[in-house]
Structure 1
Amino acid sequence: MKLFFKLTFIITLLCSFTYAQKVYKLTMATTWTSTQHPLIDTAEHMAKLAEELSNGQIKIRIDASNKHKSPFGVLDMVKGGQYDIAHTASYYWKGKDIAVLPFSSMPFGMTAQELYAWFYNDGGMELAQKVFEKHGVYSFPGGNTGVQMGGWFRKEINTLDDLKGLKMRIPGFAGEVMAKLGVQAVTINPGELYTSLERNTIDALEWVSPSMDFVMGFHKVAPYYYTGWHEPGTEMQFVINRKVFDKLPVHLQNVLKAAMKIAAYDMYINNYDLNALAWERMKKEYPDIKVRTFPKPIMDALKKANAELREEMKASSPEMKEVLDSQEAYQKKLRPWSEMSDYFYLKDNI
């Protein structure tokens, strides 16, 4: 009997040693090019964290879009098994499934703080997994840009007529809202944005905010820079092939979850810092930029179009209705505190 227990103990130790040494090599595709910071940095940060937290058991190779050549194909590539993980944004998949839109950002919707609270405290994560299950992936928050700017325009926008026929790069649901006001909304590969604007392929575009926009050079072609309304807290996402994730040991699944959560939050706070510094430098380094806010009649029209389209989407998709109803109820509950804490503090101290 003693010999049996000794052998069992030795076998258990050997199995544990073998198990602990097993290395899982994963691959990640990004929608971003290798020079689009801090988006690509977030993917790299997550991979580094996963390797460190797993004591080397997880190693992730990252291919940026300039390598795999399919920035808007990463969801299909993860689903199909060409890659295990992708770092992207869910609103790029609205043509496949309208219900994925709210997991990025919705016009006049939740701020980054409110969206994270919804994800982790009010069922947002569970809804994300439910919606993305049919696509063969798990979805996790991948970093927030905070409030995005309303875009770069060649000409000043003073009236609704100025928007009619305007060709603008604006993805997601915001593009649908703009289209109701006569804008020709298009989606363009991030790596081709500046060229499209420079060559008059488009008249305007929105990208993100100062730290990312100025690097792209949009101000050299379109000097009017508008404040935001359409993406109050835009969340990137990590999508992971379900079969790959489910086969990982539980402790490594938890490592990946932790690495994604840390990398996502780090992107949010780092991007906030970068934007603040870029805004501070703007007047000195880019004196020709003309910052504008859309006039009230345009904002009223945008809000009206947004409300109408939300109701149409709810009617067309039970899943979309479930997600939007959840967000609307939570936003209604949170917004009085957002107003009392952030809004009144800033209003009285600026």
Structure 2
Amino acid sequence: MRILLLAAAAFLVSACNEQTQPTQQAETAAVVKPAKTYSLTLAQTWPSSLPVLTDTTKRFAAMAEQMSAGRLKVRVDASNKHKAPLGIFDLVKSGQYDLGHSASYYWKGKDVNTLFFTTMPFGMIAAEQNAWFEYGGGQELMNKVYGRHGLLAVPGGNTGNQMGGWFKKEINTPEDLHGLKMRIPGFAGEIMAKVGAKPTNIAPGELYTSLERKTIDALEWIGPAFDLSMGFHKIAPYYYTSWHEPGAESQFLVNKKKLASLPEDLQAILLSAMKLSGYQTLTQVTFKNGENWKIMKEEYPSIQIKTFPAPVMAVLKKANDELLAEMAAKDPLSKEIIESQQAFLKTSRQWTKISDQAFLNSNEDLVK
């Protein structure tokens, strides 16, 4: 009897093993099977040597890979590799690259309504513009503009209030702008043309040479965080304060077909990494502007900080208002964007005046 019981037990154990082994093997295979990876390419306007903005794209790629546990891998190509610094729009739209990082106002020749989403002269500072994008309808309007081109644009890092530029000669009157050859993109370039200057757009890697060889007389770039390494102060001593880019936002461009081909969780990770890396851009720029301006003041005392005289500012503002009115009259979408920005600014600026501006004004003499 005992022998029969042992035989029956052995049979049952054998039968159970035959039934469970395939299941265990399948479960083990499911655990060790590598997750599918998705490789994306990103083209940026910036050369590999440019600080901060190249850090933005590096952070983005690292975040996307880490947040996706390695399922997303992004290769970032600088302009010195793809050779088309001002061609990012077409590279992403055509699918040659999946993603891009640049500035929206570079594409006004492709679609005039793109220029509103970097910055506007006499417009919003960084905090106000970020609020407009997130809560004031800015992102929805940007979706409307870029959606027509099969693209999604995402705020990609604000560089804050940008300086008015480096000039070889001092600007004292509106007449000094007549015939001035200046690198200045976006709507500010339109304004400068209207007041008699000769604006042009030049890729970042060619700016110093253009200024040195007198191809241009002046240029606007960004601020000390970027300008110190560019060396403009060595050949153009007048450094003018801001009017044209009070809160300049860079952008990520995304090919919508490529985005739709990704699993939903990876789409969310990709967009989240863009937003987070963009947020860190402003904090990094704020830090680097202070650090680099300290160096510039101490090591290059010949730099002369200037503010455009009131008559010059009045001429620029008048040209700005006239051009906006012309754009609004020509294009319903332009009108919608302009009215959205102006309405948001009218409300938000009232708070800025009695908060940040009042604080800075009342404490001006306390911090040297």
* TM-score interval (norm. to shorter): over 0.9
Once the two structures are TM-superposed, the CA of residue 13 in structure 1 deviates from its matched residue by 9.7
CA apart distance, 1:158? 0.4
Query: For residues 175 and 239 of structure 1, what CA distance do their matches in structure 2 show?
Result: 23
1:102 CA drift (Å): 1.2
Structure 1: unaligned runs, 5 residues or longer: 1-6
CA contact (8 A) 1:144 1:265 kept: yes
| Alpha carbons of structure 1 residues 287 and 319: separation in structure 2 relative to 1, 3 Å | same
After TM superposition, the structure 1 = structure 2 runs for residues 122-161 of structure 1, keeping only pairs within 5 Å, are 122-161=136-175
Identity %: 54
User: Per-residue displacement from partner, 1:88-131 (whole Å, max 9, x unpaired)?
Assistant: 00000011111111110000011110111011112211111110
Rg (Cα) greater in structure: 2
- Tell me whether 118-127 or 49-58 shows the greater mean CA deviation: 118-127
Q: In the alignment, what sits opposite 2:110? A: 96
1:277 aligns with 2:287: no
Of the candidates 315, 340, 354, which is equivalent to residue 326 of structure 1?
A: 340
Measured against aligned partners, the alpha-carbon deviations of 1:248-267 in whole angstroms (never above 9, x if no partner) come to 11111110111011110100
1:168-247 equivalent positions in 2, closer than 5 A: 168-247=182-261
Three-state SS of the structure 1 residue aligned to 2:148 is: helix
Task: Determine whether 1:57 maps to 2:71.
Answer: yes
1:316, CA displacement in angstroms? 1.6
Which deviations, in whole Å up to 9, do the C-alpha atoms of 1:183-218 show, x marking residues without a partner? 100000110000000000000000100121111000
Range with bigger deviation, 332-341 or 291-300: 332-341
Which string of whole-angstrom CA distances, capped at 9 and with x for unpartnered residues, describes residues 12-50 of structure 1? 9977986x7010000000000000111111111101100
What is the aligned-residue RMSD (CA, Å)? 1.9
For 1:37-76, list aligned pairs within 5 A.
Answer: 37-76=51-90
TM-score under structure 1 length normalisation? 0.95
Contact 1:29 1:65 in 2 (8 A): yes
1:34 equivalent among 48, 60, 78: 48
CA distance in 1, matches of 2:192, 2:71: 47
Q: Deviations over 1:294-319 (max 9, x none)?
A: 00000011111000001111112211
Select which of 31, 38, 43 maps to 1:24: 38
Q: Which residue of 2 aligns with 1:317?
A: 331
Distance 1:195 1:12 in 2: 63
Cα distance in 1 for residues equivalent to 2:25 and 2:158: 48
8 Å CA contact retained: 1:99, 1:317: no
In the alignment, residue 316 of structure 1 is paired with which amino acid? K
Equivalent AA in structure 1 for residue 123 of structure 2: G
CA distance in 1, matches of 2:332, 2:24: 54
Change in Cα spacing, 1:90 to 1:17, as seen in structure 2 (3 Å) is farther
Residue equivalent to 1:4:
none
Q: Once the 2 structures are TM-superposed, how far is the Cα of residue 281 of structure 1 from its aligned partner?
A: 2.2
SS at match of 1:141: strand
Per-residue deviation, 1:9: 12
Match of 2:99 in 1: 85
Distance 1:217 1:160 in 2: 27
Separation in 1, partners of 2:24, 2:251: 43
Change over 3 Å in CA distance of 1:106–1:17 after alignment to 2: farther
Structure 2-normalised TM-score? 0.90
Q: How does 1:227-306 map to 2 (within 5 A)?
A: 227-306=241-320
How far does residue 285 in structure 1 lie from its aligned partner after superposition?
Answer: 0.9
Q: Which residue identity is paired with 1:139?
A: A
Query: 78, 101, 112: which is aligned to 2:126?
Result: 112
Q: How many residue pairs were aligned?
A: 344
Q: Which amino acid aligns with 1:81?
A: G
In 2: Cα distance, 1:133 partner to 1:319 partner: 13
Structure 2's unaligned 5+ residue stretches are 1-21
Distance in 2, Cα, partners of 1:301 & 1:86: 36
Name the aligned partner's letter for residue 293 of structure 2.
Answer: W
Using a 3 Å threshold, how does the CA distance of structure 1 residues 17 and 314 change in structure 2: closer, same or farther?
farther
- The 2-side partners of 1:62 and 1:251 are apart by 22
Q: CA deviation at 1:293?
A: 0.2
1:83 alignment partner AA: Y
Alpha carbons of 1:65 and 1:295: their partners in 2 closer, same or farther (altered >3 Å)?
same
Q: 1:15 to 1:345 in 2, by over 3 A?
A: same
Deviations along 1:218-248, one digit per CA (max 9) or x if unpaired, are: 0111100000100000000000000000111
Inter-partner Cα distance in structure 1 for 2:57 and 2:190: 29
Structure 1 stretches of 4+ moved >4 Å: 7-18
**2:178, 2:120 → 1: CA distance?**
22
What amino acid sits opposite 2:71 in the alignment?
A: Q
Equivalent of 1:165, from 160, 170, 179? 179
Q: Secondary structure at the match of 1:222?
A: coil
The match for 2:360 among 341, 346, 349 is 346
Contact 1:30 1:64 in 2 (8 A): yes
